[in-house]
Homo-oligomer: A and B are copies of this chain.
Protein backbone atom coordinates (compact mmCIF):
# COMPACT_ATOMS: atom_id res chain seq x y z
CA UNK A 1 0.00 0.00 0.00
CA UNK A 2 2.97 2.28 -0.61
CA UNK A 3 2.27 5.70 -1.90
CA UNK A 4 -1.31 6.13 -0.73
CA UNK A 5 -1.39 9.18 1.52
CA UNK A 6 -4.29 10.90 3.29
CA UNK A 7 -4.38 14.37 4.82
CA UNK A 8 -5.95 14.47 8.27
CA UNK A 9 -6.31 17.33 10.76
CA UNK A 10 -4.80 16.63 14.19
CA UNK A 11 -7.20 16.43 17.09
CA UNK A 12 -5.29 16.71 20.37
CA UNK A 13 -6.40 14.31 23.09
CA UNK A 14 -5.29 15.75 26.40
CA UNK A 15 -3.75 12.65 27.94
CA UNK A 16 -0.46 10.83 27.60
CA UNK A 17 -0.44 7.30 26.25
CA UNK A 18 3.24 6.47 26.79
CA UNK A 19 3.20 5.03 23.28
CA UNK A 20 2.59 6.63 19.89
CA UNK A 21 -1.05 5.68 19.35
CA UNK A 22 -3.19 7.35 16.70
CA UNK A 23 -6.97 7.19 16.60
CA UNK A 24 -8.63 7.26 13.20
CA UNK A 25 -12.18 6.86 11.96
CA UNK A 26 -13.14 3.39 10.73
CA UNK A 27 -13.81 4.72 7.23
CA UNK A 28 -10.29 6.12 7.10
CA UNK A 29 -8.95 2.76 8.29
CA UNK A 30 -10.77 1.13 5.38
CA UNK A 31 -9.33 3.64 2.93
CA UNK A 32 -5.85 2.96 4.25
CA UNK A 33 -6.57 -0.76 4.29
CA UNK A 34 -5.61 -1.22 7.90
CA UNK A 35 -6.94 -2.83 11.05
CA UNK A 36 -6.50 -1.75 14.68
CA UNK A 37 -2.89 -2.35 15.79
CA UNK A 38 -1.55 -1.77 12.30
CA UNK A 39 0.97 1.03 11.89
CA UNK A 40 0.80 4.36 10.13
CA UNK A 41 3.43 6.95 9.43
CA UNK A 42 2.38 10.45 10.40
CA UNK A 43 4.27 13.34 8.89
CA UNK A 44 4.06 16.97 9.86
CA UNK A 45 4.77 18.65 6.52
CA UNK A 46 5.53 21.97 8.26
CA UNK A 47 8.68 20.59 9.83
CA UNK A 48 9.25 17.31 7.96
CA UNK A 49 9.02 15.36 11.23
CA UNK A 50 7.68 11.79 10.92
CA UNK A 51 6.70 9.20 13.48
CA UNK A 52 5.29 5.68 13.32
CA UNK A 53 2.14 5.17 15.41
CA UNK A 54 -0.01 2.19 16.31
CA UNK A 55 -3.58 2.62 15.05
CA UNK A 56 -6.76 2.44 17.06
CA UNK A 57 -10.06 2.73 15.23
CA UNK A 58 -13.24 4.52 16.32
CA UNK A 59 -16.62 5.31 14.83
CA UNK A 60 -17.19 8.39 16.94
CA UNK A 61 -14.23 9.95 18.73
CA UNK A 62 -12.78 11.57 15.65
CA UNK A 63 -14.38 12.47 12.32
CA UNK A 64 -13.25 11.12 8.95
CA UNK A 65 -11.18 14.28 8.46
CA UNK A 66 -9.30 13.98 11.75
CA UNK A 67 -6.61 11.97 13.46
CA UNK A 68 -6.67 11.75 17.26
CA UNK A 69 -3.24 12.11 18.85
CA UNK A 70 -2.21 11.98 22.49
CA UNK A 71 -0.21 14.71 24.17
CA UNK A 72 3.14 12.95 23.88
CA UNK A 73 2.68 12.43 20.13
CA UNK A 74 1.45 15.99 19.58
CA UNK A 75 4.63 17.21 21.29
CA UNK A 76 6.89 14.88 19.38
CA UNK A 77 5.40 15.92 16.03
CA UNK A 78 5.54 19.58 17.14
CA UNK A 79 1.90 20.09 16.14
CA UNK A 80 0.93 23.69 16.87
CA UNK A 81 -2.33 24.22 14.99
CA UNK A 82 -4.95 22.27 13.06
CA UNK A 83 -3.04 22.18 9.77
CA UNK A 84 -3.33 18.73 8.20
CA UNK A 85 -0.82 15.95 8.75
CA UNK A 86 0.07 13.39 6.10
CA UNK A 87 -0.81 9.84 6.99
CA UNK A 88 0.03 6.59 5.25
CA UNK A 89 -0.02 2.90 6.14
CA UNK A 90 3.36 1.29 6.73
CA UNK A 91 4.58 -2.23 7.36
CA UNK A 92 4.66 -3.61 10.87
CA UNK A 93 8.04 -3.40 12.58
CA UNK A 94 10.24 -6.39 11.86
CA UNK A 95 10.11 -7.47 15.49
CA UNK A 96 6.47 -8.54 14.97
CA UNK A 97 7.75 -11.13 12.50
CA UNK A 98 10.37 -12.30 15.02
CA UNK A 99 7.71 -12.63 17.72
CA UNK A 100 5.72 -14.83 15.35
CA UNK A 101 8.89 -16.87 14.77
CA UNK A 102 9.24 -17.39 18.53
CA UNK A 103 5.57 -18.39 18.75
CA UNK A 104 6.28 -20.99 16.06
CA UNK A 105 8.92 -22.45 18.38
CA UNK A 106 12.01 -21.33 16.49
CA UNK A 107 15.07 -19.91 18.22
CA UNK A 108 15.79 -16.23 17.62
CA UNK A 109 19.13 -14.90 16.46
CA UNK A 110 21.10 -12.27 18.36
CA UNK A 111 20.10 -9.63 15.80
CA UNK A 112 16.42 -10.56 16.08
CA UNK A 113 16.46 -10.32 19.87
CA UNK A 114 18.26 -6.99 19.62
CA UNK A 115 15.51 -5.71 17.32
CA UNK A 116 12.75 -6.85 19.68
CA UNK A 117 14.46 -5.18 22.67
CA UNK A 118 15.03 -2.01 20.70
CA UNK A 119 11.37 -1.92 19.56
CA UNK A 120 10.22 -2.48 23.15
CA UNK A 121 12.52 0.37 24.18
CA UNK A 122 11.00 2.68 21.57
CA UNK A 123 7.43 1.58 22.47
CA UNK A 124 6.91 0.30 18.94
CA UNK A 125 5.07 -2.84 20.02
CA UNK A 126 1.44 -3.05 21.07
CA UNK A 127 0.45 -4.74 24.33
CA UNK A 128 -1.12 -7.62 22.39
CA UNK A 129 2.20 -8.25 20.64
CA UNK A 130 4.24 -7.92 23.83
CA UNK A 131 1.89 -10.28 25.71
CA UNK A 132 2.03 -12.83 22.90
CA UNK A 133 5.83 -12.65 22.94
CA UNK A 134 6.20 -13.29 26.67
CA UNK A 135 3.70 -16.13 26.49
CA UNK A 136 5.75 -17.76 23.70
CA UNK A 137 9.03 -17.22 25.55
CA UNK A 138 7.49 -18.82 28.63
CA UNK A 139 6.27 -21.83 26.65
CA UNK A 140 9.30 -22.43 24.42
CA UNK A 141 12.03 -20.99 26.66
CA UNK A 142 15.32 -19.42 25.56
CA UNK A 143 18.33 -21.50 24.67
CA UNK A 144 21.75 -20.42 25.94
CA UNK A 145 22.50 -18.22 22.94
CA UNK A 146 19.13 -16.47 23.21
CA UNK A 147 19.62 -15.85 26.94
CA UNK A 148 23.03 -14.33 26.29
CA UNK A 149 21.67 -12.25 23.42
CA UNK A 150 18.77 -11.01 25.56
CA UNK A 151 21.15 -10.06 28.40
CA UNK A 152 23.43 -8.15 26.04
CA UNK A 153 20.52 -6.41 24.34
CA UNK A 154 19.06 -5.29 27.69
CA UNK A 155 22.44 -3.86 28.75
CA UNK A 156 23.07 -2.11 25.44
CA UNK A 157 19.71 -0.36 25.62
CA UNK A 158 20.50 1.34 28.93
CA UNK A 159 23.12 3.38 30.74
CA UNK A 160 26.23 1.72 32.12
CA UNK A 161 28.35 2.70 35.09
CA UNK A 162 32.08 2.03 34.79
CA UNK A 163 34.32 2.18 37.82
CA UNK A 164 38.01 3.01 38.18
CA UNK A 165 38.34 0.52 41.06
CA UNK A 166 38.05 -3.26 41.36
CA UNK A 167 36.85 -5.85 42.09
CA UNK A 168 33.20 -4.88 41.62
CA UNK A 169 31.00 -7.47 43.33
CA UNK A 170 27.24 -7.87 43.72
CA UNK A 171 24.55 -10.05 45.21
CA UNK A 172 21.06 -10.77 44.04
CA UNK A 173 18.16 -12.64 45.55
CA UNK A 174 15.54 -14.25 43.28
CA UNK A 175 12.32 -13.36 45.03
CA UNK A 176 13.50 -12.88 48.61
CA UNK A 177 10.61 -11.31 50.49
CA UNK A 178 11.68 -10.14 53.92
CA UNK A 179 14.76 -9.71 56.01
CA UNK A 180 17.15 -7.44 54.08
CA UNK A 181 20.29 -9.59 54.02
CA UNK A 182 21.60 -6.98 51.56
CA UNK A 183 21.91 -4.39 54.32
CA UNK A 184 24.23 -6.78 56.21
CA UNK A 185 26.17 -8.28 53.28
CA UNK A 186 27.01 -4.97 51.59
CA UNK A 187 28.84 -3.38 54.58
CA UNK A 188 30.61 -6.68 55.34
CA UNK A 189 32.09 -7.04 51.84
CA UNK A 190 32.85 -3.33 51.51
CA UNK A 191 34.74 -3.49 54.85
CA UNK A 192 37.05 -6.06 53.27
CA UNK A 193 37.98 -3.79 50.37
CA UNK A 194 35.55 -5.07 47.74
CA UNK A 195 33.35 -2.61 45.81
CA UNK A 196 29.61 -3.22 45.76
CA UNK A 197 27.38 -0.61 44.05
CA UNK A 198 24.07 -2.20 45.08
CA UNK A 199 20.92 -1.05 43.32
CA UNK A 200 17.73 -2.40 44.81
CA UNK A 201 14.00 -2.16 44.39
CA UNK A 202 11.03 -0.79 46.26
CA UNK A 203 8.31 -3.20 47.22
CA UNK A 204 4.94 -3.33 45.53
CA UNK A 205 3.49 -6.57 46.81
CA UNK A 206 5.64 -7.34 49.87
CA UNK A 207 5.96 -5.46 53.16
CA UNK A 208 9.25 -3.80 52.23
CA UNK A 209 11.88 -3.74 49.54
CA UNK A 210 15.56 -3.12 50.31
CA UNK A 211 15.20 0.42 48.95
CA UNK A 212 12.22 1.02 51.30
CA UNK A 213 14.14 -0.23 54.35
CA UNK A 214 17.35 1.62 53.47
CA UNK A 215 15.31 4.80 52.99
CA UNK A 216 14.51 4.68 56.73
CA UNK A 217 18.22 5.26 57.34
CA UNK A 218 19.23 7.51 54.48
CA UNK A 219 18.52 8.89 51.03
CA UNK A 220 18.32 6.16 48.37
CA UNK A 221 17.74 8.29 45.27
CA UNK A 222 21.27 8.54 43.92
CA UNK A 223 22.22 9.36 40.36
CA UNK A 224 24.80 7.52 38.30
CA UNK A 225 27.57 9.99 39.19
CA UNK A 226 26.85 9.69 42.93
CA UNK A 227 26.89 5.89 42.72
CA UNK A 228 30.28 6.00 41.03
CA UNK A 229 31.73 8.56 43.42
CA UNK A 230 30.52 7.00 46.69
CA UNK A 231 31.35 3.44 45.63
CA UNK A 232 34.87 4.42 44.58
CA UNK A 233 35.38 6.38 47.83
CA UNK A 234 33.91 4.12 50.50
CA UNK A 235 33.29 0.86 48.66
CA UNK A 236 29.51 0.70 48.52
CA UNK A 237 26.12 2.25 48.02
CA UNK A 238 22.65 0.82 48.71
CA UNK A 239 20.32 2.80 46.49
CA UNK A 240 17.07 2.62 44.57
CA UNK A 241 17.59 1.29 41.03
CA UNK A 242 14.23 2.38 39.64
CA UNK A 243 15.04 5.81 38.24
CA UNK A 244 18.58 5.11 37.02
CA UNK A 245 17.71 3.98 33.49
CA UNK A 246 19.94 0.93 33.81
CA UNK A 247 18.48 -1.78 31.52
CA UNK A 248 15.19 0.16 31.17
CA UNK A 249 13.67 -2.39 28.79
CA UNK A 250 13.85 -4.92 31.59
CA UNK A 251 11.29 -2.84 33.49
CA UNK A 252 9.01 -2.92 30.46
CA UNK A 253 9.35 -6.68 30.14
CA UNK A 254 8.61 -7.13 33.85
CA UNK A 255 5.40 -5.13 33.36
CA UNK A 256 4.35 -7.53 30.59
CA UNK A 257 5.31 -10.59 32.66
CA UNK A 258 3.46 -9.38 35.72
CA UNK A 259 -0.26 -9.88 34.97
CA UNK A 260 0.15 -13.58 34.22
CA UNK A 261 3.16 -14.10 36.52
CA UNK A 262 5.15 -15.27 33.53
CA UNK A 263 8.74 -15.70 34.69
CA UNK A 264 10.56 -17.63 31.99
CA UNK A 265 13.91 -18.80 33.44
CA UNK A 266 15.90 -17.38 30.53
CA UNK A 267 14.25 -14.00 31.02
CA UNK A 268 14.94 -14.06 34.80
CA UNK A 269 18.61 -14.75 34.10
CA UNK A 270 18.82 -12.03 31.45
CA UNK A 271 17.00 -9.56 33.70
CA UNK A 272 19.31 -10.13 36.69
CA UNK A 273 22.56 -10.29 34.75
CA UNK A 274 21.71 -7.24 32.64
CA UNK A 275 21.27 -5.19 35.82
CA UNK A 276 24.57 -6.51 37.15
CA UNK A 277 26.38 -5.91 33.86
CA UNK A 278 25.11 -2.35 33.71
CA UNK A 279 26.91 -1.60 37.01
CA UNK A 280 29.98 -3.49 35.73
CA UNK A 281 29.80 -6.26 38.36
CA UNK A 282 32.34 -9.07 37.83
CA UNK A 283 31.80 -11.33 40.87
CA UNK A 284 28.23 -12.11 41.81
CA UNK A 285 26.52 -14.31 44.34
CA UNK A 286 22.93 -15.28 43.49
CA UNK A 287 20.65 -16.24 46.37
CA UNK A 288 17.93 -18.61 45.20
CA UNK A 289 15.31 -19.07 47.93
CA UNK A 290 13.55 -22.39 47.45
CA UNK A 291 10.17 -23.27 48.87
CA UNK A 292 6.53 -23.98 48.03
CA UNK A 293 4.74 -20.94 46.59
CA UNK A 294 8.01 -19.22 45.66
CA UNK A 295 9.37 -18.61 42.15
CA UNK A 296 11.55 -21.70 42.63
CA UNK A 297 9.63 -24.51 44.28
CA UNK A 298 12.21 -27.29 44.70
CA UNK A 299 15.95 -27.93 44.84
CA UNK A 300 16.13 -29.55 41.42
CA UNK A 301 14.58 -26.50 39.75
CA UNK A 302 16.92 -24.32 41.81
CA UNK A 303 20.02 -26.24 40.79
CA UNK A 304 19.07 -26.06 37.13
CA UNK A 305 18.61 -22.31 37.38
CA UNK A 306 21.90 -21.97 39.27
CA UNK A 307 23.80 -23.86 36.56
CA UNK A 308 22.33 -21.67 33.85
CA UNK A 309 23.21 -18.50 35.75
CA UNK A 310 26.80 -19.66 36.06
CA UNK A 311 27.05 -20.70 32.39
CA UNK A 312 25.51 -17.51 31.00
CA UNK A 313 27.61 -15.41 33.39
CA UNK A 314 30.80 -17.13 32.19
CA UNK A 315 29.97 -16.24 28.58
CA UNK A 316 29.52 -12.62 29.63
CA UNK A 317 32.77 -12.53 31.61
CA UNK A 318 31.12 -12.71 35.05
CA UNK A 319 32.12 -15.03 37.88
CA UNK A 320 28.95 -16.27 39.46
CA UNK A 321 28.16 -18.55 42.35
CA UNK A 322 24.58 -19.39 43.15
CA UNK A 323 23.32 -20.56 46.54
CA UNK A 324 20.03 -22.29 47.30
CA UNK A 325 18.52 -21.07 50.57
CA UNK A 326 15.47 -22.16 52.55
CA UNK A 327 12.72 -19.78 51.46
CA UNK A 328 9.93 -21.51 53.35
CA UNK A 329 10.67 -19.65 56.59
CA UNK A 330 10.89 -15.92 57.32
CA UNK A 331 14.30 -14.37 56.82
CA UNK A 332 14.41 -12.60 60.18
CA UNK A 333 11.56 -11.49 62.42
CA UNK A 334 10.68 -8.14 60.81
CA UNK A 335 8.08 -7.21 58.15
CA UNK A 336 7.99 -3.54 57.20
CA UNK A 337 10.68 -0.97 56.21
CA UNK A 338 11.56 0.47 59.64
CA UNK A 339 11.28 -2.84 61.49
CA UNK A 340 13.48 -4.56 58.90
CA UNK A 341 16.01 -1.72 58.91
CA UNK A 342 16.12 -1.70 62.74
CA UNK A 343 16.70 -5.45 62.85
CA UNK A 344 19.49 -5.25 60.24
CA UNK A 345 21.16 -2.50 62.29
CA UNK A 346 20.89 -4.62 65.44
CA UNK A 347 22.71 -7.46 63.68
CA UNK A 348 25.41 -5.04 62.51
CA UNK A 349 25.63 -3.72 66.10
CA UNK A 350 26.28 -7.28 67.29
CA UNK A 351 23.10 -7.37 69.38
CA UNK A 352 21.87 -10.61 67.84
CA UNK A 353 23.12 -13.31 65.52
CA UNK A 354 20.11 -15.10 64.09
CA UNK A 355 19.38 -17.06 60.92
CA UNK A 356 19.35 -13.82 58.87
CA UNK A 357 22.83 -12.91 60.16
CA UNK A 358 23.99 -16.46 59.48
CA UNK A 359 22.66 -16.34 55.89
CA UNK A 360 24.21 -12.90 55.30
CA UNK A 361 27.65 -14.11 56.41
CA UNK A 362 27.32 -17.19 54.21
CA UNK A 363 26.51 -15.09 51.13
CA UNK A 364 29.26 -12.56 51.91
CA UNK A 365 31.58 -15.55 52.40
CA UNK A 366 30.80 -16.83 48.90
CA UNK A 367 31.85 -13.47 47.48
CA UNK A 368 35.10 -13.54 49.50
CA UNK A 369 35.89 -16.98 48.13
CA UNK A 370 34.95 -15.94 44.57
CA UNK A 371 37.36 -13.00 44.52
CA UNK A 372 40.05 -14.90 46.43
CA UNK A 373 39.82 -12.87 49.65
CA UNK A 374 39.26 -16.13 51.52
CA UNK A 375 40.20 -19.73 50.77
CA UNK A 376 37.44 -22.12 49.77
CA UNK A 377 35.50 -23.05 52.90
CA UNK A 378 36.73 -20.07 54.93
CA UNK A 379 34.60 -17.27 53.49
CA UNK A 380 31.87 -17.58 56.11
CA UNK A 381 34.32 -17.33 59.03
CA UNK A 382 35.99 -14.33 57.43
CA UNK A 383 32.62 -12.60 56.98
CA UNK A 384 31.52 -13.41 60.53
CA UNK A 385 34.80 -12.06 61.88
CA UNK A 386 34.24 -8.75 60.08
CA UNK A 387 30.66 -8.57 61.35
CA UNK A 388 31.69 -9.34 64.94
CA UNK A 389 34.59 -6.86 64.78
CA UNK A 390 32.22 -3.92 64.30
CA UNK A 391 33.87 -2.99 60.98
CA UNK A 392 30.67 -3.74 59.06
CA UNK A 393 28.69 -1.42 61.36
CA UNK A 394 31.26 1.31 60.86
CA UNK A 395 31.08 0.82 57.07
CA UNK A 396 27.27 0.94 57.18
CA UNK A 397 27.43 4.27 59.04
CA UNK A 398 29.79 5.60 56.33
CA UNK A 399 27.37 4.47 53.62
CA UNK A 400 24.40 6.07 55.40
CA UNK A 401 26.31 9.31 55.81
CA UNK A 402 27.69 9.37 52.27
CA UNK A 403 24.17 8.95 50.85
CA UNK A 404 22.97 11.88 52.98
CA UNK A 405 21.40 10.26 56.07
CA UNK A 406 21.92 10.78 59.76
CA UNK A 407 20.72 7.57 61.47
CA UNK A 408 23.61 5.86 63.25
CA UNK A 409 21.99 3.39 65.63
CA UNK A 410 19.12 0.91 65.74
CA UNK A 411 17.81 2.75 68.82
CA UNK A 412 16.97 5.80 66.71
CA UNK A 413 14.52 3.77 64.65
CA UNK A 414 11.06 3.80 66.27
CA UNK A 415 8.16 1.68 65.08
CA UNK A 416 4.72 3.21 64.51
CA UNK A 417 2.90 4.28 67.69
CA UNK A 418 -0.26 2.11 67.57
CA UNK A 419 0.42 -1.51 68.35
CA UNK A 420 -1.27 -4.74 69.32
CA UNK A 421 0.11 -8.10 70.38
CA UNK A 422 -1.16 -11.31 68.80
CA UNK A 423 -0.99 -14.09 71.36
CA UNK A 424 -1.01 -17.89 71.33
CA UNK A 425 -4.45 -19.29 72.13
CA UNK A 426 -2.98 -22.54 73.41
CA UNK A 427 0.36 -24.14 74.13
CA UNK A 428 2.24 -25.87 71.35
CA UNK A 429 5.27 -25.93 69.12
CA UNK A 430 5.56 -23.45 66.22
CA UNK A 431 5.11 -25.72 63.21
CA UNK A 432 5.05 -23.21 60.38
CA UNK A 433 5.11 -19.46 59.86
CA UNK A 434 3.18 -18.34 56.78
CA UNK A 435 5.33 -15.55 55.33
CA UNK A 436 2.75 -14.51 52.70
CA UNK A 437 0.11 -14.11 55.40
CA UNK A 438 2.34 -12.00 57.65
CA UNK A 439 3.16 -9.79 54.69
CA UNK A 440 -0.56 -9.25 54.07
CA UNK A 441 -1.09 -8.33 57.72
CA UNK A 442 1.90 -5.94 57.63
CA UNK A 443 0.49 -4.38 54.47
CA UNK A 444 -2.97 -3.89 56.02
CA UNK A 445 -1.15 -2.15 58.88
CA UNK A 446 0.24 0.26 56.27
CA UNK A 447 3.62 -1.13 55.16
CA UNK A 448 5.54 -0.36 52.97
CA UNK A 449 3.92 3.04 52.39
CA UNK A 450 3.83 3.80 56.11
CA UNK A 451 7.48 3.08 56.76
CA UNK A 452 7.13 2.45 60.49
CA UNK A 453 4.21 0.06 60.16
CA UNK A 454 4.52 -3.71 60.03
CA UNK A 455 4.85 -6.92 61.98
CA UNK A 456 7.58 -8.07 64.38
CA UNK A 457 7.74 -11.77 65.19
CA UNK A 458 8.50 -12.97 68.71
CA UNK A 459 8.86 -16.63 67.77
CA UNK A 460 10.68 -18.88 65.32
CA UNK A 461 9.77 -22.27 63.91
CA UNK A 462 10.41 -24.98 66.47
CA UNK A 463 9.91 -22.72 69.50
CA UNK A 464 7.59 -23.98 72.21
CA UNK A 465 4.99 -21.48 73.37
CA UNK A 466 2.50 -21.42 76.24
CA UNK A 467 -1.06 -20.12 76.03
CA UNK A 468 -0.90 -16.31 76.21
CA UNK A 469 2.64 -15.99 74.85
CA UNK A 470 3.17 -13.22 72.28
CA UNK A 471 3.47 -14.56 68.73
CA UNK A 472 4.04 -11.17 67.14
CA UNK A 473 3.30 -7.47 67.45
CA UNK A 474 1.53 -5.38 64.79
CA UNK A 475 2.50 -1.70 64.45
CA UNK A 476 0.44 0.96 62.61
CA UNK A 477 0.27 4.73 62.18
CA UNK A 478 -3.41 4.99 63.14
CA UNK A 479 -6.21 3.06 64.81
CA UNK A 480 -8.07 2.29 61.60
CA UNK A 481 -5.13 0.57 59.93
CA UNK A 482 -4.25 -1.23 63.17
CA UNK A 483 -7.83 -2.52 63.43
CA UNK A 484 -7.80 -3.77 59.83
CA UNK A 485 -4.56 -5.67 60.39
CA UNK A 486 -5.61 -7.07 63.78
CA UNK A 487 -8.94 -8.26 62.37
CA UNK A 488 -7.06 -10.13 59.66
CA UNK A 489 -4.57 -11.58 62.19
CA UNK A 490 -7.39 -12.77 64.41
CA UNK A 491 -9.08 -14.46 61.48
CA UNK A 492 -5.90 -16.48 60.99
CA UNK A 493 -2.60 -15.55 62.58
CA UNK A 494 -0.28 -17.16 60.03
CA UNK A 495 1.56 -18.94 62.84
CA UNK A 496 0.63 -22.61 63.00
CA UNK A 497 1.08 -24.57 66.21
CA UNK A 498 1.43 -28.30 66.51
CA UNK A 499 0.78 -30.01 69.84
CA UNK A 500 3.91 -30.61 71.84
CA UNK A 501 2.67 -33.98 72.96
CA UNK A 502 1.33 -35.62 69.84
CA UNK A 503 0.30 -38.85 71.46
CA UNK A 504 0.48 -40.21 74.97
CA UNK A 505 1.84 -43.74 75.16
CA UNK A 506 0.27 -45.41 78.18
A sample of 12 cross-chain residue pairs with beta-carbon separation below 8 angstroms, ordered by A number, consists of A1-B443, A3-B487, A4-B484, A13-B14, A16-B58, A29-B204, A33-B204, A100-B260, A105-B139, A127-B128, A131-B132, A136-B139
Sorted nearest first, the 9 A-B pairs with minimum C-beta distance are A131-B131, A127-B127, A128-B131, A132-B135, A135-B135, A131-B132, A37-B259, A127-B128, A31-B449
Q: Is A103 close to B, CB under 8 A?
A: yes
Shortest distance in angstroms between A295's beta carbon and chain B's nearest beta carbon? 14
> Nearest CB to that of A484 among chain B residues?
B3
Shortest distance in angstroms between A42's beta carbon and chain B's nearest beta carbon? 18
Contact B126 A96 (CB under 8 A): no
Q: A1-B440, A27-B449 are in contact. Are A61 and B131 (CB under 8 A)?
A: no
Contact bitstring A422-444, B, C-beta under 8 A = 1, else 0: 00000000000000000010011
Contact A37 B134 (CB under 8 A): no
Q: Is A262 close to B, CB under 8 A?
A: yes
Q: Is A49 close to B, CB under 8 A?
A: no
Q: Is A35 close to B, CB under 8 A?
A: yes
Q: Which residues of A contact B (CB under 8 A)?
A: 1, 3-4, 13-16, 23, 27, 29-31, 33-38, 58, 60-61, 68, 92, 96, 99-100, 103, 105, 126-136, 138-140, 202, 204-205, 255-256, 258-262, 440, 443-444, 448-449, 484, 487-488
Contact A30 B449 (CB under 8 A): yes
Contact A135 B131 (CB under 8 A): yes
State in angstroms the CA–CA spacing of A126 and B255 once bound together. 12
Residue from B13, B37, B129 in contact with A15 in the complex, judged by beta carbons closer than 8 Å: B13
Most buried by B among A4, A36, A38, A128: A128
Inside 8 A of A262's CB, which chain B residues have their CB? 100, 103, 132
State in angstroms the CA–CA spacing of A260 and B256 once bound together. 17
State in angstroms the CA–CA spacing of A188 and B252 once bound together. 56
Shortest distance in angstroms between A403's beta carbon and chain B's nearest beta carbon? 21
Inside 8 A of A132's CB, which chain B residues have their CB? 131-132, 134-135, 260, 262
> Nearest CB to that of A15 among chain B residues?
B13
Contact B128 A33 (CB under 8 A): no
Shortest distance in angstroms between A100's beta carbon and chain B's nearest beta carbon? 5
Contact B129 A129 (CB under 8 A): no
Contact A14 B14 (CB under 8 A): yes
Inside 8 A of A27's CB, which chain B residues have their CB? 449
State in angstroms the CA–CA spacing of A37 and B256 once bound together. 9
Residue from B15, B29, B129, B444 in contact with A131 in the complex, judged by beta carbons closer than 8 Å: B129
